[in-house]
Structure 1
Amino acid sequence: MTQQTSESAQKLEEMFAISPYNQLALSGVGPIKDVKIFDTTLRDGEQAPGIALSPDDKVRIAQALDSLGTDIIEAGFAASSDIEKETLRQIKDLNLNATVCSLARSVHKDIDAVIDSGLDYIHTFIATSDLHMQYKLKMTPEQVKERAVDAVEYAREHGLEVMFSCEDATRSRMDFMKEILLAVQEAGASSVNIPDTVGVIIPKAYGNMIAELHKTLKIPISVHCHNDMGLALANSLAAVENGATIVQGCVNGFGERTGNVALEEVAVNLFANYGVKTYDLSKISETSALIERITGFSMAANKPIVGRNAFAHESGIHVHGIMNNTATYEPFLPEVVGAKRRLVVGKLSGSHAVEGKLEEMGVKFPAEHIDELMEAVKKMSISGKEITDAELMAIADDIMWKKSTERKECVLDELTVITGRSTTPTATVTITKADGSKVTVADTGVGPVNAAVNAIRKAVNSNMTMEEYKLSAITGESDSMCQVAVTMKNVQNDGNISFGRAVGMDIVETSVDATMAAINRDFARVKHDKKEC
């Protein structure tokens, strides 16, 4: 390792803040020097319901996986179709740093398809559990062993490197597994794979299982963990602690049913807790996002490492801590995986988060109005909505704009709007006027906004007109806050034009607020003129 590489690794380590108890627990674990990443996103990942990759998709993903630092890419299942074989050829011809392989059943037909694809690495498999042998294969253990050995020998005779896999290994008898694995080792397999095919083993049991096989075999052991019971990552790490040196999985945790172990989680944990570098960690987020886009398979917001909320903070206490020292509420810096931190403004946000956000956007918001801003933010996010940067700026701007208007001369006390299909939109308003009188009126319109404005006109001044109405969604999304700007004329029968605006979640209420703002701005103008006289 060069001095520059050593310094880079040390700098990366300093970006983590993991538990000191981890190293205590690992004190009895032997040195783990090298672990290879075997990516099956293009094979097992594609088997996830709803994912179908074109040849071009597979090529793009293979290139991204190679750039990430993947050691082995299981790019498909050659025997499945001629298109698949041709795709494997295309990926092979990319001359990637990663080794490209294909899955194959332990039959000559499947192996021939891999040979035709031009690959020189094959992953053969056959089920070894009594359950699968009896109900799926309908074969005896002796027949299964014979088939497994024959497949390895046949592949080796044709110049292929072979990884052999015991399907449903974690429900297979240990004595039979040892027998078949020793046989394929003797037949020329360069590595074996011990999959937890339906995700049913617990970490301690899996660790013991791998340790036992590690003592028996002379070739590398690979592990392939499914996540049916949420144990895929824990099982993969337990396997590495007990001698496994190849970890199979998929980026983003795709795969059959609940998926395979997420390889980005494996890579980050291997580096943080075991000091083993596999991926170029800084490329994890971009690779994850690319695969999410291509597959159309969306990740949960709370997905570890690469989820939208992985480095998002809303709680006031958490944000305050993060702003002082990121290690308070982050196990590692987002830059490690090429991500960015998000300070989210929402229901649980404190003033530190909101002020910090505004400062990021270059907005100097007066401290004396922060309570009013916080009240507006919490009101608009009460349903769980996350306030975007643009929306926060609009709220802050709206509050400051309102501060330029003197106290309200007309107050909207009540608003009721009835609308719907085959229903005439009707609005009822109760307004306290400048002279202290209270009036309640109702009116109809071509829509709920028009009905509400008509009712306000009737209550304040029937000669008043709306000269212009502008409505926009601040972010352009379906749950975006809206911004309404109106121009009212003749509020007080003097022909003057007055402008009003408002920001809110509901189009009707926000339109009404903007209308009332224009009305009060006109009254404030007259009052100001009288003071000057």
Structure 2
Amino acid sequence: MMLADPSKKYRRMYQRVDLPNRQWPNNEINKAPIWMSTDLRDGNQAIFEPMNIEQKFKMFQMLVKIGFKHIEIGFPSASQVDFDFTRKLIEENHIPEDVYIEVLVQARDHLIARTFESLQGAKRAIVHIYNSNSPTFRKKVLNVDANGAKQLAINAATKVKEYAAKQPETDFIFQYSPECFSATELEVAKDVCDAVTEIWEASADNKVILNLPATVEVSGPHVYADQIEWMHRNLQRRDGVIISVHCHNDRGCGIAASELAIMAGADRVEGCVFGNGERTGNVDVAAIALNMYTQGVAPELDFSNINEIIATVEECTGLPVHPRHPYAGDLVFTAFSGSHQDAIKKGFEFQKNEEIWDMPYLPIDPRDLGRDYDAVIRVNSQSGKGGIAYLLEANYNVVLPRRLQVEFSQVVQQVADDEGVEVTAKQIWDLFTNTYVAAKDAHYSTKNYKLSDENGSQVIELDVVVNGEIQHLRGEGNGPISAILNALQLPIDVVNYEERSISSGANAKALALIELQVQGAGKSAFGAGVHDNIVTSSIDAIIAATNRLIDQGLLKKDQVAAAV
């Protein structure tokens, strides 16, 4: 079967831009834009199960920690969860002084009223209204002409201004999006945007945001850059406007379109941390920010512990970060090719700590993201890693996290190289238990424990053997894992935790896998526990990982003894 003749089915969906003296091709990005995260709104709309309030709160805390100052938290007029989450942030005072929460609302009166109800008592907020002005939407969705679409925006902007006046205690910023901007005639987009900024009295002292989205990516990024520069030149009240861009990735060019848009005059970029979003996703903010970073431009966002960010995003969205994802993927710093490895090893011989980073095949220093060099310079084990993962899953129902796959493959590869024979599934399992499970008895071990529930918290009491003596410990947390860590009182954080059954029926065993990281060190160790009881497995996994941190010199033995 062959593709149909495209000339009979498709047409150009954008207007050609008459911009003979375009300036953006000669411009460079020399400072970070204003960043706006839409992970909690656009990203949340694009997952199998939308986040609950607890997951949204965890994601919000992560976004604040990364450094976002504009965070779109939801669609409170359309979702009770989003409404309740907005109220939680405001009433419990979780919003930092320098952060604006943003809420989206359609250009409809009753939804605008509900939105302002959700924002009662907020110190600062962005109210974001939108409607589409593109020919397709005017004709097939809204059944209006260009003037009718403009009137929808005017009515909504007027209502927003009226409602905001009733809440003078809140510092409001108004935002308008002509949805599907990139498929809208530029004169039509300019006309409606100018009408909105006139109502909102945009000025240098009263900035408003005009978001010019590629809601559906319908052209090359160079065309989008022309569209942004045209608006940048021709908008009225430009000194009172923050031009924002919101690029989707339908053609796979969202990052390029956003970067060229900044060069063309955009002041602000909307997107999701790792590119989640409707259809093919929103623009990937981490990639744009780290692209800037590798060019010597401070991105004003902190990705120095990217593994922790990945773990939070994966937990809250249920979506994995691809192993080949730019910068964040588990395999992006791993060279499987022998020639690549040789070049990287030679590059390390020349690279000095204080010099400008200049390495073969590595555009960024993995240490800047909280990674180390172990996976970069390891012996080629592509086939070995895949075979190990297959045998463990097929024979023991064990699926290892990707970073653990990479690390454990080195253990198996060493045995295969030393013995020169095939490594069986049982040998692989024995190597795994000897490396990650048996470590629970290496330095410190547990004897007895008791887990109880007190006032909604999990409380654990356990005996730990320290230098031959039993120490009685007690810890409290929101679950068994946090209770155990609080009992140990060590400077370690959980990077990743997984549990699963590795058999079935009466002989079922629970496998717990945990990755612990020493605070401030950016280095971690894995531990595993296998037992009939998942809590026992979790305790064993934590102790095993702690002992392995000691073996690796990341924790000192007397440091652990002093803590417990």
Q: TM-score, normalised by structure 1?
A: 0.62
Tell me if structure 1 keeps the 8 A contact 2:375–2:407.
Answer: no
Residue identity opposite 1:152 in structure 2: A
Alpha-carbon offset, residue 283 of structure 1: 3.9
**Counterpart residue number, 1:87:** 85
Alpha-carbon offset, residue 231 of structure 1: 0.6
Tell me if structure 2 keeps the 8 A contact 1:39–1:251.
Answer: yes
Aligned-partner Cα distance in 1 for 2:378–2:182: 48
Tell me if structure 2 keeps the 8 A contact 1:286–1:338.
Answer: no
Superposed CA offset, 1:128-154 (max 9, x none): 101011111122222221121221222
Q: 2:150 aligns with which of 125, 145, 152?
A: 145
Aligned-partner Cα distance in 2 for 1:339–1:383: 25
**Counterpart residue number, 1:103:** 104
Tell me if structure 1 keeps the 8 A contact 2:333–2:362.
Answer: yes
Q: What does residue range 244-263 of structure 1 map to in structure 2 within 5 Å?
A: 244-263=266-285
**Counterpart residue number, 1:48:** 46
Aligned-partner Cα distance in 2 for 1:257–1:475: 42
Tell me if structure 2 keeps the 8 A contact 1:313–1:342.
Answer: no
Aligned-partner Cα distance in 2 for 1:45–1:307: 19
Tell me if structure 2 keeps the 8 A contact 1:121–1:161.
Answer: yes
Pairing 1:122–2:127 present: yes
Aligned-partner Cα distance in 1 for 2:195–2:150: 8
| Structure 1 residues 325 and 178: CA distance shift in structure 2, 3 A | same
Moved more, 327-336 or 149-158: 149-158
**Counterpart residue number, 1:277:** 299
| Structure 1 residues 378 and 237: CA distance shift in structure 2, 3 A | closer
**Counterpart residue number, 1:418:** none
Aligned-partner Cα distance in 2 for 1:379–1:80: 49
**Counterpart residue number, 2:402:** none
Aligned-partner Cα distance in 1 for 2:382–2:327: 28
**Counterpart residue number, 2:177:** 165
| Structure 1 residues 249 and 391: CA distance shift in structure 2, 3 A | closer
**Counterpart residue number, 1:331:** 363
Alpha-carbon offset, residue 401 of structure 1: 6.7
Superposed CA offset, 1:388-445 (max 9, x none): 5445435544765799xxxxxxxxxxxxxxxxxxxxxxxxxxxxxxxxxxxxxxxxxx
Query: Alignment partner of 1:164: what SS?
Result: strand
Tell me if structure 2 keeps the 8 A contact 1:251–1:288.
Answer: no
**Counterpart residue number, 1:191:** 209
Pairing 1:70–2:102 present: no
Alpha-carbon offset, residue 329 of structure 1: 1.1
Tell me if structure 2 keeps the 8 A contact 1:106–1:148.
Answer: yes
Tell me if structure 1 keeps the 8 A contact 2:222–2:260.
Answer: yes
Query: Alignment partner of 1:277: what SS?
Result: coil
Tell me if structure 2 keeps the 8 A contact 1:311–1:340.
Answer: no
Alpha-carbon offset, residue 476 of structure 1: 5.8
| Structure 1 residues 315 and 162: CA distance shift in structure 2, 3 A | same
Residue identity opposite 1:183 in structure 2: A
Moved more, 176-185 or 265-274: 265-274
Superposed CA offset, 1:233-292 (max 9, x none): 000001000100100100111000110111101111233347242202314442233111
Aligned-partner Cα distance in 1 for 2:296–2:384: 45
Aligned-partner Cα distance in 1 for 2:219–2:286: 22
Residue identity opposite 1:141 in structure 2: A
Residue identity opposite 2:252 in structure 1: G
Aligned-partner Cα distance in 2 for 1:379–1:291: 29
Tell me if structure 2 keeps the 8 A contact 1:196–1:225.
Answer: yes
Name the larger-Rg structure: 1
Aligned-partner Cα distance in 2 for 1:202–1:401: 55
Residue identity opposite 1:214 in structure 2: H
Query: Alignment partner of 1:134: what SS?
Result: helix
| Structure 1 residues 388 and 151: CA distance shift in structure 2, 3 A | closer
Any unmatched runs of 5+ in structure 2?
1-22, 165-171, 203-207, 349-358, 391-404, 437-564
Any unmatched runs of 5+ in structure 1?
1-24, 345-351, 358-376, 404-448, 450-469, 481-533
Provide the aligned C-alpha RMSD in A: 3.1
Equivalent residue pairs, number:
362
Superposed CA offset, 1:68-120 (max 9, x none): 01121111001112332110122343122421011100112221122111253
Alpha-carbon offset, residue 26 of structure 1: 8.2
Percent same amino acid among aligned pairs?
Answer: 26
**Counterpart residue number, 1:182:** 194
Superposed CA offset, 1:1-57 (max 9, x none): xxxxxxxxxxxxxxxxxxxxxxxx988316754511111011110121414100111
Superposed CA offset, 1:486-532 (max 9, x none): xxxxxxxxxxxxxxxxxxxxxxxxxxxxxxxxxxxxxxxxxxxxxxx
Query: Alignment partner of 1:44: what SS?
Result: coil
Aligned-partner Cα distance in 2 for 1:248–1:169: 14
Residue identity opposite 2:372 in structure 1: K
Aligned-partner Cα distance in 1 for 2:263–2:305: 26
Aligned-partner Cα distance in 2 for 1:260–1:222: 14
Alpha-carbon offset, residue 318 of structure 1: 1.3
Tell me if structure 2 keeps the 8 A contact 1:199–1:229.
Answer: yes
Query: Alignment partner of 1:52: what SS?
Result: coil
Pairing 1:304–2:305 present: no
Pairing 1:112–2:113 present: yes
